């Protein structure tokens, strides 16, 4: 699923991926992604509802932190 978040390194739309209970945020252009494991996702569930916004913001912050370790894309 394409999100309305953009990669801070290249500006491409970030992709939200869900598989086997894990959720990840990925930039197809930089080929850099972050994943949250099933056990940690429980923090974002309350009353059996998923806080997608909160989860997405956490993934985005983690993705940005990873990109900060890399040199800017040429």
Q: Which residues bind Zn ion (CB under 5 A)?
A: 7, 9-10, 12, 27, 29-30
Give the rounded distance of the alpha carbon of 4 from its chain centre. Answer: 12
Question: Taking the complex as a whole, how short is the minimal distance between the CB of residue 59 and Zn ion, in angstroms?
Answer: 14
- Tokens, residue 67: 């990109």
Distance, in Å, from the CA atom of 25 to the CA atom of 14, rounded to the nearest integer, reads 6
Q: How many CB atoms lie within 10 A of CB 68?
A: 9
Question: Taking the complex as a whole, how short is the minimal distance between the CB of residue 46 and Zn ion, in angstroms?
Answer: 32
Question: Taking the complex as a whole, how short is the minimal distance between the CB of residue 1 and Zn ion, in angstroms?
Answer: 17
Q: Which of residues 20 and 31 has its CB atom nearest to Zn ion in the complex?
A: 31
């Amino acid at each position: 699923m394409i999100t309305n978040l953009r990669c801070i390194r290249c500006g491409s739309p970030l992709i939200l991926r869900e598989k086997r209970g894990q959720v990840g945020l990925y930039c197809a252009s930089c080929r850099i992604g972050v994943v949250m494991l099933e056990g940690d996702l429980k923090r974002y569930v309350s009353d059996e509802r998923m806080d997608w916004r909160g989860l997405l913001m956490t993934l985005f912050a983690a993705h940005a932190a990873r990109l900060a370790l890399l040199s800017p894309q040429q």
